[in-house]
Structure 1
Amino acid sequence: MNKQDKIYIAGHRGMVGSAILRNLEAAGYTKFVLRTSSELDLRNQQAVADFFATEKPDYVFLAAAKVGGIIANNTYRADFIYENMMIQSNVIHQAYVHQVKKLLFLGSSCIYPKMAPQPLKEDYLLTGLLEPTNEPYAIAKIAGIKMCDAYRSQYGCNFISVMPTNLYGPNDNYDLNNSHVLPALLRKFITAKNSGARSVDMWGTGSPKREFLHADDLAAACVYLMNTYDAEGLVNIGVGEDVSILELAQLVQKIVGYNGTIATDPSKPDGTPRKLMDVSKLTALGWKAQISLEEGIQRVYEEIKDKDWR
């Protein structure tokens, strides 16, 4: 990408899209095409076609998606497959029609089979059954990967796909009904500290292990791959190491400065025992994560510690 190129970031208000925008702005890029979901409905085929015909972006970061936690995924199954299929199909096809130089599609680690070996290698895609609760979302994301590869194969489009691990960072979702584990723990510990609560409740045994990547690291990897990677298939983006949920809770407790206890609840589900990405392909391509988990959580805490949760 050159500084004079026009860059469209779909989903620039979300955690991933906003991180990519921050990264590019810091690097000196200035020609951005940005639309909120109210300004451009990416599910609308004609609206997306008109947008590309008018703006003609050179590069596209496709970070827009309908996302949610396990309850939302399982409840609104039709919405998750329909809206994500429409968003990515419209954007990818118009990127081809209007000869975009390069497109980067963002997927999700839930594309891998539920019982795939750990750590998750790119080759494990489509080798087994998916986790039933988020299968519609996963199928939509798998379709996006295959769509990028198909347009590369048939039309020579330089469309690439990346699969991030669990993310956290600025513009995260802190709604306790549908947020992910790290933002939920941060909110719980901050609230407990401020209210003087004696303990913080945590679902499950705390034994499952998860990997966490700061959104700014993901953005750095996406920009790096946009500038250096030109091949079919997908690239995992992660840190290559994980922690147990209990260890994560203890780290958040330390950073927040909460002096009470952590109460696990074994009657609640643990979820998948482990979800670790194999990042050897990304490492071989010359990129590694820079932000440690403790440093990253500390950054987020400083941003939200005075937030009014009411």
Structure 2
Amino acid sequence: MAIVPFELRGKSVYVAGHRGMVGSALLRRLAREDVRLVTVDRHEVDLCNQAAVFDWFAKMRPQVVFLAAAKVGGIAANATLRAEFIYDNLAIAANVIHAAHQSGAEKLMFLGSSCIYPKLAAQPLREDSMLTGPLEPTNEPYAIAKIAGIKMAEAYRSQYGSDFISVMPTNLYGPGDNYHPEYSHVVAALIRRFHEAKVAGAKTVAVWGTGTPRREFLHADDMADACVHLMKTYSGAELINIGTGEDITIADFAGMVADIIGYRGEITFDTARPDGTPQKLLDVSRLERLGWRATISLEDGLKRAYEAFLAGAPVPAQ
């Protein structure tokens, strides 16, 4: 039976995907709560393996589940690894949600993605715009898997009364991000590109696309704080967007990243590369009514992200 406010104190809390950017941010935030954190490494339990997941849940029986595990990547990864993105994410959602139900978990939060919304949906993106139009083709497999997870959580709530909720974070960045040269998201990609250009003394840096699309960015630590807040205060079938409610063009964003890193060369735009969705700005009015707003500014967040990159990434030779 759903109870709000939901008490986390004293509970066993499983963070699925704890080594990723999102999962590790949740661990940092949950360390401030009086909970017993439960994690398991991928080599011990592959979340795509149904039997392994079911066995682990039957043994550990976590009371609270944050389902942050996913196969993720930027526009290039989504466009080229289409089969992996739909299979892995469908399997993870199906296995973990059903196992949580079977083992009697008190509450589960499924983390989706703003790419679930139609490519040309009205801005800002309201939660009820899901399934009202075609998706962005480059990330359609990932989006379909995430939509399936949302609908699965909704179905278990409807049929069994499970207190399963879904949240939709906007574009995230921060410590633990993936800096792969081809498959990273835009924030990590630009941090790496501008840093390497500065070290190498490159005169120009090419940014993918035209620079005109608008994007909203949220620091992973803000996202984690919002998730914990919603786990405590929200219980319902409706999605909840998590974002800042503000966006910026890719061109202006690239300039901000270059300034923070100290790159002084020219920024060009590779228009042969895809732009993706023209705009992805979330309507966060529902989240604000539930008592939460982002506190980390984009500039401060990017400075933190660059510090984390320098601490964890090798500096290319000059």
Task: State the TM-score bracket (shorter-chain normalisation).
Answer: over 0.9
Please, which of 197, 220, 231 is the counterpart of residue 202 of structure 2?
197
Partner Cα separation in structure 1 for residue 56 and residue 199 of structure 2: 47
Q: How does 1:1-310 map to 2 (within 5 A)?
A: 1-25=7-31, 27-305=32-310, 307-309=313-315
CA contact (8 A) 1:6 1:59 kept: yes
| Cα deviation, residue 206, structure 1 | 1.3
Tell whether the 8 Å contact from 2:209 to 2:273 is kept in structure 1 after alignment. yes
Instruction: Give per-residue Cα distances to partners, 1:37-63, cap 9 Å, x unaligned.
Output: 111011111111111111111100000
TM-score normalised according to structure 1 size: 0.96
Deviations 1:175-223 (A, max 9, x none): 1211111111111111111111122121222111100000000000000
RMSD in angstroms over aligned alpha carbons? 1.3
User: Any conservation in 1 of the 2:118–2:136 contact (CA below 8 Å)?
Assistant: yes
Structure 1: which 5+ residue stretches go unaligned? none
Secondary structure of the residue aligned to 2:131 is: coil
Q: Distance in 1 between matches of 2:304 and 2:242?
A: 20
What CA distance in whole angstroms lies between the structure 1 residues aligned with 2:261 and 2:76? Answer: 27
What do the CA deviations read for 1:124-177 (whole angstroms, capped 9, x no partner)?
011111122222211111111111111111110000000010000000011121
Q: Secondary structure at the match of 1:246?
A: helix
In structure 1, the partner of 2:4 is none
Equivalent position SS for 2:86: helix
**Cα offset, 1:69, TM superposition:** 2.2
SS at match of 1:305: helix
Instruction: Write the distance in 1 (CA, Å) between the matches of 2:274 and 2:76.
Output: 13
Contact 2:138 2:276 in 1 (8 A): no
Structure 1 residue 309, shift from structure 2 partner = 5.0
Q: 1:226 to 1:74 in 2, by over 3 A?
A: same
Q: Which amino acid aligns with 2:242?
A: I
Distance 1:237 1:255 in 2: 25
Q: CA deviation at 1:30?
A: 4.6
Q: Could you tell me how far apart the structure 1 residues matched to 2:27 and 2:178 are?
A: 18
TM-score by structure 2 length? 0.94
Give, in angstroms, the shift of residue 72 of structure 1.
2.4
Structure 1 contact 145–233 (Cα < 8 Å) conserved: no
Matches of 2:164 and 2:271, distance apart in 1? 44
Bigger CA drift: 81-90 or 227-236? 81-90
Quote the offset at 1:103 in angstroms: 0.2
Alignment partners' CA distance in 2, 1:188 and 1:72: 17
The structural deviation recorded for 1:75 is: 2.5
Q: Which amino acid aligns with 2:257?
A: V
Does the aligned pair in 2 maintain the 1:209–1:274 contact within 8 Å?
yes
Q: In the alignment, residue 307 of structure 2 is paired with which amino acid?
A: E
The one-letter code matched in structure 1 to 2:238 is: G
How many matched pairs?
Answer: 309
Once the two structures are superposed, what CA deviation does each residue of 1:9-56 show, in whole Å capped at 9, x if it has no partner? 00000000000000011x143511111111101111111111111111
**How far apart are 1:260 and its partner, in Å?**
1.6
One-letter amino acid of the counterpart of residue 259, structure 2: K
What's the offset of the Cα at 1:74?
Answer: 2.6
Query: Relative to structure 1, is the Cα distance of residues 229 and 302 closer, same or farther in structure 2, using a 3 angstrom cutoff?
Result: same
Q: For the structure 1 residues 154 and 278, does the alpha-carbon distance in structure 2 shift closer, same or farther, using more than 3 Å as the test?
A: same
Secondary structure (helix, strand or coil) at the match of 1:207 reads coil
The separation in 2 between residues aligned to 1:301 and 1:78, in whole angstroms, is 32
Say if 1:71 and 1:250 are closer, same or farther in 2 by CA, change over 3 A: closer
Letter in 2 for 1:279: V
Q: Report if the CA contact (8 A) 2:109-2:165 is conserved.
A: yes
Whether the aligned pair in 2 keeps the contact of 1:190 and 1:305 (CA below 8 Å) is: no
Identity fraction in percent: 60
